[in-house]
Structure 1
């Protein structure tokens, strides 16, 4: 259930409170259409809350209703209600998302664990080759040609030519093959690209060997990039457009 729907259900509850007078009296039957609608609203709200907040303290829930009716003995100021609800349910959503990602990662690990191991073995051997440098994050790179000038920042846009392959040489994307450079924000791409581009100067050409954790991790991207894939890119930095939006044309961005 979305946060907006949860908050909406809460607002309905508070509306019921504001329209209710006197003590709660339980009824055993519904005598009119208004009775049925009133009961249905309460039942619907309870169902939504029950599905999304099973930790609820029902005594405090009722106390909040009663305090809201007479606006006395409030334990929380009215202006803080939305902030408290939003903060709590956003945290719950983040926890749920994290749990889902962990479950997906475990599933991918079981199915594509060999792919992960192969990537690790490739990188372990590759780092011993002449000219290959390894950064603290684990990114490996080989300088094919150095450039001149300033390096880009994470907020820069860059124009590049690139050729992307798997460790077995399978090509999955290439601006070189398309014959058209790509333009995108340095901070809008996978971690390996973001880090690697900031090592380069215009005119430089590097070869990046990107560990899966700096690429797409447990995700599958397209037909060729399986979960835990180590990626290899030859990247030529053609130009830096810096910073974003200062007098230079903008491209559509790039999904690497």
Structure 2
């Protein structure tokens, strides 16, 4: 019977290979500019297979070390000595546990991890909700801040000129997005690339908020969770987060009437960019 332990190690190895591929793709453009790393003249291995085996072991060790750190964040602290002993005993075919015991133990461990992760997620969501309310209460006292019926808060820094954008218009913006503690999760300025999208293709807080400025205008949006990502959140944005955006409306292009429905986006640009 194939034990869950063997399946776990295989999954870890596959994850490492995927991470290596992603890392290589992300850094492909940096290779030419970066100086070549120094290579030791000393020969460390007799064969390529020896070096490959060592590299795999080192990568697996790093993966396991990172996993232990992530589990510690959930309040679960595994004994590294026992982890290494388990690997050594498995290679020596001297495991202290049967395949059935290994599988049962890992199933119980998986249940503990899921329960701890759920508890932490709920705790973080509650903290985000409280921090968001506190921030919005404070922001409401600032000069020229307005709150709409939906709960959206905004502060116009520069009104701009022309007509305010409509739902079906395509807008081009530069923006910076942060959580209420100042943590930045998205920034088109840093990327050096403004974003264009149909106004009805983003989160409700943006669709409503950008109608309060015109081309060339600047606005600060404070968006409550129910107008952003609500109780689910997205990577980099915890559940129940209030989002803070500084937005510059660079351009507004009306969509021709005969193209309004044909060009309606099937996917919200905000879900790709982090808004």
- The match for 2:203 among 175, 190, 198 is 190
For residues 195-252 of structure 1, give each alpha carbon's deviation from its aligned partner in whole angstroms, at most 9, with x where no partner exists.
0011110000001011111100011211x20000000001111111112658xx9999
Taking structure 1 as the reference length, the TM-score comes to 0.53
Q: For residue 162 of structure 2, what is the aligned residue in structure 1?
A: 149
1:108 Cα deviation (Å)? 5.7
- Aligned twin of 1:235: 247
Q: In the superposition, relative to structure 1, how do residues 228 and 157 fare at CA in structure 2: closer, same or farther (>3 Å)?
A: same
**Partner SS state of residue 183, structure 1:** strand
The answer to whether 1:125 aligns with 2:138 is yes
How far apart are the structure 1 equivalents of 2:223 and 2:210?
12
Task: Give me the whole-angstrom Cα distance separating, in 2, the residues matched to 1:112 and 1:133.
Answer: 26
Computed over aligned residues only, the root mean square deviation of the Cα atoms, in angstroms, reads 2.6
> Secondary structure of 1:198's match?
helix
Consecutive aligned runs of 4 or more in structure 1 exceeding 4 Å deviation: 105-111, 249-253
**Aligned twin of 1:137:** 150
Instruction: Name the CA shift for 1:111/1:178 in 2 (closer, same or farther; >3 Å).
Output: closer
1:99-154 CA-to-partner distances (Å, cap 9, x unmatched) read xxxxxx99965652121111112111210111211111111111111100001111
Q: 1:177 to 1:250 in 2, by over 3 A?
A: farther
Kindly name which structure, 1 or 2, has the bigger radius of gyration based on alpha carbons.
1
Q: TM-score, normalised by structure 2?
A: 0.50
Q: Tell me the CA shift for residue 254 of structure 1.
A: 2.1
- Other-structure match for 2:178: 165
Query: Could you say which residue in structure 2 is the equivalent of 1:254?
Result: 269
Number of aligned residue pairs: 149
**Aligned: 1:217 with 2:233:** no
